[in-house]
Structure 1
Amino acid sequence: MSFPFYIAKRYLRSKSSQNAVNIINFITFLVIVIGSAALFIVLSAFAGLKTFSLQFTNTFDPDLRAIPTTGKFFSISSENEKALSELEGVANYSKEIEERVYLTFREKGDLAFIKGVDENYRSVTGIDSTLYFGNWGVTEYNAVMGIGIYNSLGVPLNNYRTPMQVLAPKPGKGSFSPQSLNTKLYNDLSLVVSGVYAIEDNLDKKYVITQLHLVQELLEKDSTQVSGVNFKLNGSVSLEDTRANIKNTLGEKTIVLTRRELNGTLYKMLNTENLATYLIFTLVLIIALFNVVGAIIMMILDKQTNSKTLFALGTTVKELRKIYFVQGVLVTSLGGLIGVLIGSILIGSQLAFEWLKITPSLAYPVEYDFMNVLVVLATIVILGLISSKIASSRITKKLVAQ
């Protein structure tokens, strides 16, 4: 054990003869503990909120999705489909086509997206787990819609007598003519709602899901034209290698996006919020650790007689500075450890007992991440090193040689 560390450890455990110094040291230590605990709890809460937010998109979006490079649609041939089914790393794939349409039911109307999917869609995504009530239907003219659209239109389930109408503009080129105004400008499709899904507010107001061929006919597209292909991976090949193989199979007409890239805005927003919260609480810790500088300077003045004695016995100014530097680092590190321990207990109790709730049935989401432990401890130690260095630099030869 080095001499500066030995003396610093004794100073850490011993009390000052002046009660004011003891109070200042206790308050400084308490501030470090509370600050580090608060930072860890907030980071754990944001990690929980991030996971909670992403679970909705994770059930709706596939592992990979191929979309057209330009335009809304692209063609996928039978040769492409055969090659995709033989790709190593792909467990299953599903074709889809979607377009913005107008929904109408009993003089009520709403804009939404109609999504036509094939029979593999439910096995490629986790959409089955989002079904709120009803089912996927037994006839090809059945549809499942988001609960937001369901509430807006008030469409009863299994209403075969007066089904919901879906209107889509007819594709065409050129300008309107008097002759064209006399013809029907839109295609229509009658759908019977058999089920309702609930994910999150934006998605709940966005989609009506039905059979792929029905939407292709509504949009006057042939059976090879789709707006996307969804892929479920089996993990036997890395994601990037599988993406490259899909890209090679479908060619330059498509780009292949991961789930993270499909929700890039959401990920960026969550990461920005997490970073902003970390920086705000770190700023609070920086302000709090000014107390460490003040406490160490008070300790230097309180132990000035001891420092003079040590200097007279041959201790150098550099070693005296190191004593108070090590003391400051020990105080901040120990405070940080205790703060993280307290924060871990609180987060663990929330995970185990769910004592803090958003609603009577929904506990506030938190997540215990070891990376957050490292981030908090690293932040405390780095700030402690800086504040201890500033405070210990107050030791000068003039101070101890008088």
Structure 2
Amino acid sequence: MNLSLFIARRYLFSKKSHNAINVISLISVCGIAIATMAMVCVLSVFNGFGGIVEGMFSAFDPDLKITAKAGKVFDYHTPDFDKALRIDGIQMISESLEENALYKFEDRQVPVLVKGVSEEFRLMTDMDKLMVDGSFRLTEDVVNYTTLGTGLAITLGARAGFINPIEIYAPKRDVNVNLANPSAAFTREDIQIGGVFSLNQPDVDDQVAIIPIRLARELFRYDNEVSSLDMKLHPDASVKKVKSEIEKILGDDFLVENRFEQQIESFRMLQIEKWVTFLILAFILLIAVFNVVGSLSMLIVEKTIDIKSLKNMGANNNLISRIFLYEGWLITFFGIVSGIVAGLTLCLLQQHFGLLRLSNVPGAYVVDAYPVIVRFWDIVTVFVVVSIISLLTVFYPINNLKKKLKFAEV
């Protein structure tokens, strides 16, 4: 049996002559537990928001996206692309052509980012999840349809089912503008409104309109060129492996991005907010841990007689120092474990009952209650960080005790 640990455990649970020491010890455990619980809950909530963002983008963004590093468009009908697109794991490929145009509906007009897509886009994405009005469709017989972002639809004052079409004005490439007749520099087409979608991202909802890629090529005078090739992989395929193989074949002229890389700014901002909040809570924890310093300091003063008795029985300075070191570590350990258990319990309750709500009005936000996703490595990170901060803080009163013991020997 470890004598230092045994005595430290007795000191922790035994009644002290001064009740204030018991109170301060309890406050120390509670302070560490509350800070630890807050860390677990905050990280889990940020994981929940990250999951929602990832779920929304996964309905719109492909598993892999190929774009040209130089230039806006490229022709993928080459031997290298033929080889790359035959790689095992690729289930489906969709063409995409993006260009700027002008949408006019009745007396309103708005510059938009037109995204022309092929029919495979319907099968590759889960647009039905994003639709808030009408349905997603590209063509029906000889009629072309456009799907608008919510912000764009509001600006135009348009919605699905309206009889009047939207007028698309696309600038003609490689054509000199005739100032006497500027309208001749644009290609004009009419298109019906098929539906309205919402991604809850202003840069998409306020600017993007989806149309058939055949119509986009006619408007912008392209033959077989695309802005990007979107890929859907088999469920059991490795995104990392397929991405690496495509990059080897296509070389440095093309950029191959997974879903995270396509929305890297959004995910990076979420991660920065998550860990900055964690750092702030770590500073709060540091303040709470100083209660342990006070508790140990008072305990050392109270146990002065016990220390003398132990020295008379042959205990050296290291054994006595370890007793109070283990005492501080036990306080922090109980605080950490209690905090993690409490945090996991709160997260479980939030997942099942949604105790903390974003709004009292159902449907006001994407989710009604704060989302929670608990990840194992976040719990490990919390345990390690809180342990290091707490254990290092304990060394301060122990070092003072060692100095006093050495001074007493002199």
TM bucket normalised to smaller: over 0.9
Change (3 A) 1:80 1:97: farther
Match of 2:145 in 1: 142
Alignment partners' CA distance in 1, 2:259 and 2:287: 40
Q: Which amino acid aligns with 1:122?
A: R
Q: What is the CA–CA distance in structure 2 between the aligned matches of 1:211 and 1:79, rounded to whole Å? A: 26
Counterparts of 1:145 and 1:171, CA distance in 2: 25
**SS of structure 2 residue aligned to 1:60:** coil
Aligned to 1:204: 205
Q: 1:141–1:192: 8 Å Cα contact kept in structure 2?
A: yes
Contact in 1 for aligned 2:133/2:159 (Cα 8 Å): no
- Aligned partners of 2:182 and 2:318: how far apart in 1? 96
Give 1:372's aligned amino acid.
D
Q: Equivalent residues in 2 for 1:1-400 (5 A)?
A: 1-77=1-77, 83=83, 85-137=85-137, 138-139=140-141, 140-160=143-163, 162-172=164-174, 181=181, 184-202=184-202, 203-222=204-223, 224-248=224-248, 250=250, 252-359=252-359, 360-361=361-362, 362-395=368-401, 396-397=404-405
Does the aligned pair in 1 maintain the 2:161–2:194 contact within 8 Å? Answer: yes
- Calculate percent identity across the aligned residue pairs: 28
Contact 1:148 1:201 in 2 (8 A): no
Amino acid in structure 2 at the alignment position of 1:153: L
Deviations 1:17-50 (A, max 9, x none): 1122222222222211111111211111111122
Task: Indicate the larger mover: 199-208 or 61-70.
Answer: 199-208
Shift of 1:82: 5.1
Q: Indicate how the Cα distance of structure 1 residues 215 and 177 shifts in structure 2: closer, same or farther if over 3 A, else same.
A: closer
The Cα of 1:388 is off from its aligned counterpart by: 1.5
AA paired with 1:397? L
After TM superposition, the structure 1 stretch with the greater mean CA deviation from structure 2, 233-242 or 193-202, is 233-242
Instruction: Tell me, in whole angstroms, the C-alpha distance in 1 between the residues paired with 2:251 and 2:11.
Output: 71
Give 1:158 deviation, angstroms: 3.5
Contact 2:159 2:195 in 1 (8 A): no
Alpha-carbon distance, 1:55 to partner: 2.0
CA RMSD between the two structures: 2.1
Contact (CA 8 Å) 1:308, 1:401: kept in 2 or not? no
Q: How many angstroms apart in 2 are the aligned matches of 1:195 and 1:80?
A: 37
Structure 2 length normalisation: TM-score? 0.91
Which consecutive unaligned segments of at least 5 residues does structure 2 have?
363-367
Contact 2:96 2:228 in 1 (8 A): yes
Amino acid at match of 1:164: I
Cα deviation for residue 248 of structure 1 reads 4.9
Between 196-205 and 309-318, the greater mean CA deviation after superposition: 196-205
Shift in Å, 1:9: 0.7
How has the CA–CA distance of structure 1 residues 176 and 215 changed in structure 2, closer, same or farther, with 3 Å as cutoff? Answer: closer
Deviations 1:206-247 (A, max 9, x none): 21111111001100111x100000011115553233123333
Q: Across the two proteins, how many residue pairs are aligned to each other?
A: 398
Q: Distance in 2 between matches of 1:183 and 1:20?
A: 86
Cα 1:210/1:111, change in 2 over 3 Å:
same
Give the C-alpha shift of residue 12 in structure 1. 0.9
| Contact preservation (8 Å) 1:4, 1:320 | yes
For 1:183 and 1:376, how far apart are their aligned partners in 2?
63
Query: Alpha carbons of 1:282 and 1:58: their partners in 2 closer, same or farther (altered >3 Å)?
Result: same
Q: In structure 2, how many angstroms separate the alpha carbons of the residues matched to 1:198 and 1:82?
A: 35
Contact 2:243 2:256 in 1 (8 A): yes
CA deviation after TM superposition for structure 1 residue 156, in Å? 3.9
CA drift at 1:295 = 0.9
Distance 1:220 1:230 in 2: 21
In 1: Cα distance, 2:383 partner to 2:15 partner: 26
AA matched with 1:145:
L
Where 2:191 maps in the other structure, the secondary structure is: strand
Q: CA deviation at 1:176?
A: 5.2
- For 2:131 and 2:310, locate their aligned partners in 1 and report how far apart those are by CA, in whole Å: 76
